Amino acid sequence: MTVTQSPQLAALALNEIGKLLGRLTEDQLAALADGRAHVEFRNDDEGVAGARGPARPPRAAAKDPVDLDAIVADIKALTEEDAVERYLIDRDRDLPLPRLRELADRIGPPVTSKGAKSKAQLRKNIAAGTAGLLNRPASAFGAGWDR
């Protein structure tokens, strides 16, 4: 076993571990912190000693469908643009660019998927068109600037 010298790779792995910890319950986190539980690393590509082939059969290519309506409800409950972007980044694997465009269209105006060439830009559009609107002063959208 060789330890990586790549800080970028280590940061990506640490991000995945952070996502895992974010899905644990309070009790599970407490057990882990107290040493009553442990996290185990398994690489599905490597075989188990004495066994032939991979430790587990490869996962099926088909994924569970993503519930876009539930994601829309989650986003609409968030009040900060940064929180919306973080939420979408955390769901990045579930939301390839075509699904992200579908999500933006499902949210509806003022969110637009038109012109967004990247997932990052589309995430910003969604954040600005949802939580961003809650944080802008009414004068920017109303007659407050009329003289």
pLDDT in tens, 24-81: 788 888 888 888 887 776 666 654 444 444 445 555 555 557 899 999 999 999 999 9
pTM, rounded to two decimals: 0.51
Nearest partner of 100 among 73, 77, 118, 78, judged by Cα? 118
Q: What is the pLDDT of residue 7?
A: 78
> pLDDT digits over 85-94, tens only?
999 999 999 9
Task: Tell me how long the chain is.
Answer: 147
Q: Between 25 and 136, where is the model more confident? A: 25
| Domain parsing of the chain, residue ranges | 1-59, 68-135
